[in-house]
Amino acid sequence: MAQRDWVTDHMARYKETGGEDGHMWKGHDGNQNLPCLILTTTGRRSGKQYDTALIYGTDGDNHVIVASMGGAPKSPLWYENLAANPTVELQVMADRFTAKARTASGEERARLWTMMAEIFPTYDSYHEKAKAHREIPVVVLERA
């Protein structure tokens, strides 16, 4: 199965089962247990809705995601979309709700990066790849 196919399949199963199948993702190696949510952003040019499955953490009542794109020189398109329109939709298990996205900075970003790297240690290697080009954004999602 091509990468895009397994991602599409993962999101479809997540939505169909209210997250029962897909909320906890085994990772590429099948040995991890990573919490995932579905983020829906509005295209900054198209106005269309786009879904993305992402690893997340929680900070109080907020959800936290990382715009790593594997350490690529540019941020993922979903991040560019939410930067242009910070009102997003989330699905966490069967709970679907509207949230407001903001990019963490300073001490808050550092604290949240540490938290997210504990959930998914590969983020630190992504940081090493990206640091010459960009600081990987850490996004806080606050329920609207």
In this prediction the pTM is: 0.93
Q: pLDDT (tens digit, 9 = 90+) per residue, 62-109? A: 999 999 999 999 999 999 999 999 999 999 999 999 999 999 999 999
Given a cut of 70, is residue 1 above it in pLDDT? no
Q: Which residues constitute the domain of residue 50?
A: 3-143
In the chain, the number of structural domains is 1
Output the domain CATH number for residue 51.
Answer: 2.30.110.10
Q: What is the pLDDT of residue 28?
A: 65
Q: What is the pLDDT of residues 7-54, one digit of tens each?
A: 888 899 999 999 999 899 876 666 778 999 999 999 999 999 999 999
Q: For every residue of the chain, which 3-state class applies, written as one string?
A: CCHHHHHHHHHHHHHHCCCCCCCEECCCCCCCCEEEEEEEEECCCCCCEEEEEEECEEECCEEEEECCHHHCCCCCHHHHHHHHCCEEEEEECCEEEEEEEEECCHHHHHHHHHHHHHHCCHHHHHHHHHCCCCCCCEEEEEEC
